Amino acid sequence: MESIRRKLAPNPRESANFLSVLTFWWTIDLFKKGYTKVLELQDLFRPLEVDKSDALGDRLEKKWFAQQSGPGRPSLIKAIFKTFWWEYTVLGFIAIFNDIFIRLAQPIFLGLLLQYFRRDSNVSRESALYYAGVIVGLNALSVISINQYILGSFQNGMKVRIAVCSVIYRKALR
């Protein structure tokens, strides 16, 4: 297989700040370029260090060798789990945060807001505006957390696929 080395631009995610990562603002330049022309290979960026096949393959291979030297039959699923458990745990916390805190808080604040519209309500206008603002903020937070969860899921799937392919390729070369 022929390897072609091209000089790729640095990945903008490496230098993106926290807010830029949360809102995907670091992707804007690529979208602008893709809007004006068809993207080509030189328009892409270098992969992040954590996404490179040699690093991912090393992580999985280390766990795989531990599985082989341990008692019982080695399991690729267990090696994958032990390699990527932290990434999936973070995704689980994002999903739990969205499902338990954000989604449960929305109807509570909606109920408080609707009390303002009852006859003879003792809810002040300022409180109603506060409740409406909280609902908007919770919806924005939900959108951000869901999209981060989706991106993280795709990235974790990509990492597992790359790591497994790297280990298989190394095995084939031995």
Confidence (pLDDT) at 174: 83
Confidence (pLDDT) at 91: 96
Confidence (pLDDT) at 3: 55
Confidence (pLDDT) at 145: 95
Confidence (pLDDT) at 4: 59
Confidence (pLDDT) at 93: 96
Closest CA to 84 of 53, 59, 67: 59
* Mean pLDDT of successive 10-residue stretches along the chain, which has 174 residues: 69 94 94 93 90 94 92 92 96 95 95 93 93 97 96 97 96 90
Confidence (pLDDT) at 77: 95
Closest CA to 15 of 25, 30, 7, 3: 25
pTM (2 decimals)?
0.84
Domain ranges of the chain: 1-46, 50-173
Residue count (the chain):
174
